[in-house]
């Protein structure tokens, strides 16, 4: 597996390849593949969890939960932004999925802020989106954009 470990995020081909693996692992609902892109000591901030959690297993569990909650979910990458002075990037995405057991379609935008270690793995993952907006859609409440 090619990882961007030697330089900051200045190698656009390496960044693109990493983003492709990240997106593919999520869209295949492959909790092990998502976790494999992260370090054991991962620091993970996820609005739906309401707290910072730690370790690769926390993320693995969340991916499995997402697959149960939104069985048809997909993330579409809409861009990525690489930091040129350190190993960090932001992956912008659009989420769509149907809430399990309902016909409620959920759509929203978010960003994954990823900080990579020298090993090329994600050591800090901060997921950013409006969780209250998502919750209103899941409950079937009208939402304004």
Q: pLDDT tens digits, residue range 13-60?
A: 888 889 999 999 999 999 999 999 999 999 999 998 888 999 999 999
Q: In which band, very low, low, confident or very high, does the pLDDT at 135 lie, cut at 50, 70 and 90?
A: very high
143: left (phi over 0), alpha (psi -120 to 50) or beta: beta
Neighbours of 46 (CB within 10 A): 19
Residue 5 has pLDDT above 50, yes or no: no
CA–CA distance, 54 with 23 (Å, rounded to integer):
21
Question: In terms of DSSP bridges, do strands 38-46 and 51-54 run parallel, antiparallel, or are they unpaired?
Answer: antiparallel
List strand residue ranges (DSSP E) for 99-139, in order. 105-116, 122-128
Distance, CA of 42 to CA of 21 (rounded, Å): 18
CA separation for the pair 111, 106 (Å, rounded): 16
* Confidence (pTM): 0.87
Burial of 122 (0-12, 13-18, 19+ CB in 10 A): buried
pLDDT in tens, 70-129: 999 999 999 998 887 788 999 999 999 999 999 899 999 999 999 999 888 999 999 999
Report whether pLDDT(142) > 70.
Answer: no
pLDDT the model gives residue 4: 44
């Amino acid at each position: 597996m090619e990882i961007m470990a030697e330089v900051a995020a200045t190698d656009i081909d390496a960044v693109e390849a990493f983003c492709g693996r990240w997106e593919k692992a999520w869209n295949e609902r492959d909790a092990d593949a998502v976790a494999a892109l992260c370090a054991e000591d991962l620091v993970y901030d996820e609005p739906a969890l309401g707290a910072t959690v730690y370790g690769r297993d926390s993320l693995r569990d969340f991916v499995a939960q997402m697959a149960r909650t939104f069985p048809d979910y997909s993330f579409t990458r809409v861009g990525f932004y690489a930091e040129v002075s350190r190993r960090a990037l932001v992956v912008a995405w659009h989420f769509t999925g149907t809430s399990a057991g309902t016909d409620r379609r959920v759509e929203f935008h978010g960003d994954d802020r990823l900080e990579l270690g020298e090993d090329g793995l994600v050591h800090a993952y901060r997921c950013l989106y409006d969780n209250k907006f998502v919750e209103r859609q899941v409950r079937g409440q009208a939402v304004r954009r």
